[in-house]
Amino acid sequence: MQQNHFLQRTVTCGELTHADAGKEVVLNGWVHNWRNHGGIIFIDLRDRFGITQIVFNPAISQELAEKAAGLRHEFVVSITGTVILRPESMFNPKMPTGQIEITASALSILNSAATPPLHINDPDASESEELRFIYRYLDLRRPVLQNNIIFRHKVTAEVRKYLWTNNFLEIETPILMKSTPEGARDFLVPSRMNKGRFYALPQSPQTYKQILMVAGFDRYFQIARCFRDEDLRADRQLEFTQIDTELSFITEEDIYRVFEGMMVELFKNCLGISLSTPFPKMSYHEAFHTYGSDKPDIRFGLTIKDVTSVFQNSEFKVFKSTIEANGKIGAIAVADFASCTRKQIDNFTSLVAKSGAGGLVWLRVNDTGVEGPIQKFLSHEEIARLLELTETKSGDMIFMVAADEKVCFTSLGQLRLELASVRNLINKDEFKFLWVTDFPMFEFSEEEQRYVSVHHPFTSPRLDELDLFLSDEYFKTRARAYDLVLNGFELGGGSIRIHDSLVQKRVFELLGISELEAEEKFGFLLKALSFGAPPHGGIAFGLDRLVMVMLKLDSIRDTIPFPKTTAGISLMDNAPDRVARKQLDELGIQLQEKYNS
RNA sequence: GGACUGGUAGUUCAGUUGGUUAGAACGCUGGCCUGUCAAGCCAGAGGUCGCGAGUUCGAGCCUCGUCCGGUCCGCCA
């Protein structure tokens, strides 16, 4: 039976130092580890604040030592004792509290614990994520994971502090909202009172925050939960948290300044790192053609060179047919990598194949020119120009992909990341921010056979391209959109919005959304924009991902207390789950036969 | 929807060419041990080899299916 009354702690397990020697204290916590020497017994007592060593000495109390001998991992105890300065030879330099220990005078066991299925006290333990999810409450006891969650709290607190002091109002928006076309698949919530109708969970509070600007709140932010019913990844969960913002009477420059300032504060106060501003900017076009990505990692070089022009009259069939089909040939040069093995090349080849490339051409640079399987198809002039464009020297390695433009650069972009990791070119202690700007407004969707928004349909076209926007070549228009990229991760993105209902209508029209549908789905926004909407824009940052990058973690699951598996399942509580027939009846919902078992 | 990868003791893993009783470490239980901090020493318990078929005299190992974890592609305005 549990005890109703216990001695409450006077101090935590992380705060005692040599200055506290001699004090009488009470500590509450978990048995992190125990060491029984037959006589003397040591207990490492843990709470969120740290670990303190407790000593039970039979010379002081035989009875107490016998009781302590029964303590096991993860028992919950209350311990009374005296803070003792350890002799210097017994200091533990690995522990912040390693100069002191507690000589116990009383012990009360508040709760026992079953043998834990995880090695909570082993920082190097590597239980499967499956097991860690099932016993998430135990996993979360680990100092490492606990620090991630505490760090996330700090980031959130610093974000609030910064935005509050910069005139932002923290405002909540609905979780139950209207389903809108465009973008990710919505999570739907059936309405009992309005059978046959559904709410959607927000993919982002986009329309609400714009309407808050129309309403005159000027600057808004929200630590907002967002939901997207799409497949998961190491850096994507079904629900995630955005630092969502919107500002009135601003331009891109204000966004850059305000949020560079936010990052400076976050990195200073959470990591003790000072960032220098302004962050560099790069157009989407440059990012794509030199890094093969819209979120380039600029901590290292290995840039992609467009070498199509070199092979304009090539005898090599693959290059010739690619150029005839209006494709591109891109190259990456790797310094001093002529030692590259056949096996590595095979790996690189299958890597670019994943992005759709038909093959990977490679050439070793030597004193007389190049060597490789396709060298015999290349003229002296082509080789000379290639070496010049790629700025290579003897001992270097050149990789090339010939394909349509998108495949060519994206596959080389993937290869670039792999090469950086193989060649160990990434300084993991570096944080390199980058604004990517000048995204196109539209891109053609093969699947839907129409143009779709690159960012979202509320993004303003560039003012200097309004003529283009209104012309037949509207699809070439660039958007007033921007992404903040850090070390190859998209931390956030946003845009200056359309605040003119006529421009907004034109976008819907170009996206193939009929006037009727636009009215039905977005009529409320169009109407709002017609009542004197201020120029406005905003940006949203992925909090989970930000924390992940700041802590150099491999997955956002380690920044989230209760994440879901790649199948979208919460293993601890088994959500989603079947529901009672009665619940479905109340909603007017019937399952398809095959899902009834 | 697809590709790859993993699933063996409570946990992390090993398990040869298909062959006797499936091993190790940590944890757990018991014993010894008065200064450890990954304590040490001795002993013991602990297995539906994810699940289901199949091949075979014989399957942890081979084949097929299936479930689960993970990585990636598609998807993610």
Res. A592 pLDDT band, cuts 50 70 90: confident
State the average pLDDT over residues A70-92.
96
Q: Which residues fall within 8 angstroms of residue A243, CB to CB, at 6 or more apart?
A: A159, A221, A223, A224, A492, A540, A541, A543, A546
Q: Which CATH number fits domain A18-111: 2.40.50.140, 2.60.40.1840, 3.40.50.12780, 3.90.550.10?
A: 2.40.50.140
At A241, give phi and psi (nearest 5°). Answer: -115, 130
Nucleotide nearest to A59 (CA to C1'): B34
Which nucleotides on chain B have any atom < 7 A from a protein Cβ? 1, 10-13, 26-29, 32-40, 68-77
In angstroms, the CA of A346 and the C1' of B16 are apart by 29
Is A597 within 7 A of strand B by CB distance?
Answer: no
- The complex scores an ipTM of 0.93
Taking the CA of residue A352 and the C1' sugar atom of nucleotide B64, their distance in angstroms comes to 32
Residue A453 β-bridge partners: A442
Residue nearest to nucleotide B69 (CA to C1'): A130
pLDDT in tens, A228-276: 999 999 999 999 999 999 999 999 999 999 999 999 999 999 999 999 9
For β-strands A397-403 and A361-366, DSSP reports them as antiparallel
* Helix (H), strand (E) at residue A350: helix A342-354
Closest C1' nucleotide to A87's CA: B35
Q: Tokens 């799409």, residue?
A: A230
Residues of chain A with CATH 3.30.930.10: 139-271+535-597, 433-533
Computed over every residue of chain A, the mean pLDDT equals 94
Contact A242, A542 (CB under 8 A): yes
Tell me, what's the pLDDT at A546? 98
Cα–Cα dist A33/A43, whole Å: 6
Separation of alpha carbons A46 and A520, rounded Å: 57
Enter the tokens of residue A258: 């305000």
Residue A326 region by backbone torsions, left for phi larger than 0, else alpha for psi between -120 and 50, else beta: left
The architecture (CATH level 2) of A433-533 comes to 2-Layer Sandwich (3.30)
Q: What is the pLDDT of residues A371-399, one digit of tens each?
A: 999 999 999 999 999 999 999 999 999 99
Across residues A206-230, what is the average pLDDT?
Answer: 97
CATH 3.30.1360.30 residue ranges of chain A are: 300-426
Residues 516-545, chain A, CB closer than 7 Å to nucleic strand B: none
* pLDDT (tens digit per residue) in A395-446: 999 999 999 999 999 999 999 999 999 899 999 999 999 999 999 999 988 7
Per DSSP, the three-state class of A345 is helix
- Name, in order, each residue with C-beta under 8 angstroms of A303's C-beta and a sequence gap of 6 or more: A290, A291, A332, A416
Given the candidates 3.40.50.1820, 3.30.930.10, 3.40.50.80, 3.20.20.70, the CATH classification of the domain at A139-271+535-597 is: 3.30.930.10
For position A445, what pLDDT does the model report?
83
Q: What pTM does this model have? A: 0.95
**CA A131 to C1' B50, whole Å:** 14
pLDDT of residue A2: 53
- Indicate whether A124 pLDDT > 90: no
Identify the pLDDT of residue A444.
86
The pLDDT tens digits of the residues spanning A307-357 come to 999 999 999 999 999 999 999 999 999 999 998 888 889 889 988 988 888
Instruction: Answer whether A132's CB lies under 8 Å from A117's CB.
Output: no
Residue A447: pLDDT band with limits 50, 70, 90: confident
Band the pLDDT of A595: cuts 50, 70, 90.
confident
Euclidean distance between CA atoms A582 and A586, whole angstroms: 6
In A 345-364, which Cβ lie closer than 7 Å to strand B? 354-355
Range(s) of chain A covered by CATH 2.40.50.140: 18-111
Task: Tokens for A226, please give them.
Answer: 């967002």
| Neighbour tally for A97: CB within 10 Å | 23
- The DSSP 8-state label assigned to residue A177 in this structure reads B
Give strand letter and number of the nucleotide nearest A43 (CA to C1'). Answer: B37
- Strand-pairing partners, residue A283, are A437
- Please write the tens of the pLDDT for every residue from A147-186: 999 999 999 999 999 999 999 999 999 999 999 877 899 9
pLDDT at A180: 85
| Cβ of A66 near strand B (distance < 7 A) | no
Could you give the CA distance from residue A433 to residue A298 in angstroms, rounded to a whole number?
Answer: 8
Q: Give A169's DSSP letter.
A: E
Q: Both tokens of residue A540? A: 């949203």
- Is the Cβ atom of A501 within 7 Å of strand B at any atom? no
Task: Please state the separation of Cα A157 from the chain's center in Å.
Answer: 18
Distance, CA of A442 to CA of A510 (rounded, Å)? 9
Indicate if the pLDDT at residue A4 is higher than 70: no
Cα dihedral A234/A239/A242/A246 (nearest 10):
140
Q: Are strands A442-445 and A397-403 parallel, antiparallel or unpaired?
A: unpaired
Residues 6+ away with beta carbon under 8 Å from A411 = A292, A351, A352, A353, A354, A355, A356, A357, A401, A403
Q: What is the pLDDT of residue A597?
A: 63
Identify the residues numbered 28 to 47 in chain A whose C-beta atom is closer than 7 Å to any atom of strand B: 33, 35-40, 42, 44
Rounded Cα distance, A121 and A142, in Å: 7
Assign domain A300-426 to its CATH architecture: 2-Layer Sandwich (3.30)
Task: Give the other-Cβ count within 10 Å of A369's Cβ.
Answer: 16
